[in-house]
Amino acid sequence: MVVAEQKPLNEILAMLQPYKKILVAGCKGCVTVCTTGGKKEVEILASEIRISRKKEGQEIDVKEITLERQCDPEYIDQLEEVIKDREAILSIACTVGPQYIAARYMDKLIFPGLNTVFIGGSKEHGIFAEFCQACGSCGIHKFGGLCPIARCSKSLLNGPCGGSANGKCEISKEVDCIWQLIYDRLKGLGKLEQMTQVIPCKDWSTSRDGGPRKMIREDLKL
């Protein structure tokens, strides 16, 4: 899932400072799972904005809505009625959400309430870790099903660096060396010979070098 974190409240308040009619729009997708942009977070953030303005003696009218998804045009249309009288929209979805809203409502000011951080998974309740950098050319089968691009601090493809010690990365004793995990995994599978294969330099043309990416499912086209 896409993992995002809320921007500092002071930054959000500064962005919205000139406006009195605001819509806080959440998303029931990934950001609900990582508890940064769901219905509950919309309610909390809207309350914080109201309280802050009240302390400053300033008027404000904050509406709230949580869409099924903000990365799908059909759900963006659900804003049609509630958005009409709003001066500014604060989207607390991943960064796709505010861009979709901006494209749909050309006359409205859109602000991001979250910072999109990475593609990851839940390690335990409230803890999320990066597992993928969306490079566009997955090769984790060469590494026992684990990704050194995202999970090695240096994105090394041919073994650990000299800083790896006791199974930990040199950046922190709290960070596992992914190459230790790859070794252990391949050993357990009886596939250690894969460690002797030289992996060529990564071809990044499937990542950002070719500009914004697009996927077309021909079987779904009307």
Check residue 219 and report its DSSP letter.
G
Residue 35: what are its φ and ψ, rounded to 5°?
55, 45
Q: Determine the average pLDDT of the residues in 84-104.
A: 94
Give the separation between CA 128 and CA 197, rounded to whole angstroms: 32
Give the separation between CA 191 and CA 105, rounded to whole angstroms: 54
What's residue 204's pLDDT? 82
* Lowest-confidence pick of 2-11, 135-144, 167-176: 135-144
- The answer to whether 6 and 41 are in contact (CB under 8 A) is yes
**Burial (CB count <10 Å: 0-12, 13-18, 19+), residue 112:** buried
pLDDT tier at 125, thresholds 50, 70, 90: confident
SS3 label, residue 107? coil
The mean predicted confidence, pLDDT, of the chain is: 91
Give the separation between CA 36 and CA 5, rounded to whole angstroms: 6
* Lowest-confidence pick of 42-51, 165-174, 206-215: 206-215
Domains contained in the chain, CATH given: 2-117 (3.40.50.2300), 136-206 (no CATH)
* Lowest-confidence pick of 16-20, 75-79, 190-194, 204-208: 204-208
- pLDDT tens across 30-61, in order? 999 999 999 999 999 999 999 999 999 999 99
SS3 label, residue 189? helix
- The answer to whether 168 and 177 are in contact (CB under 8 A) is yes
pLDDT tier at 79, thresholds 50, 70, 90: very high
Whole-prediction pTM value?
0.82
- The answer to whether 95 and 3 are in contact (CB under 8 A) is no
Contacts of 70 (CB under 8 A, 6+ apart): 25, 27, 29, 76, 91, 93, 94, 96, 97, 98, 100, 101
What's residue 210's pLDDT? 64
Q: Which residues pair with 110 in a beta bridge?
A: 89
Query: Among 35, 34, 92, 96, which Cα is nearest to 62's?
Result: 92
- The answer to whether 99 and 73 are in contact (CB under 8 A) is no
What's residue 166's pLDDT? 94
Count of CA atoms in the C-beta half-sphere (13 A) of 222: 0
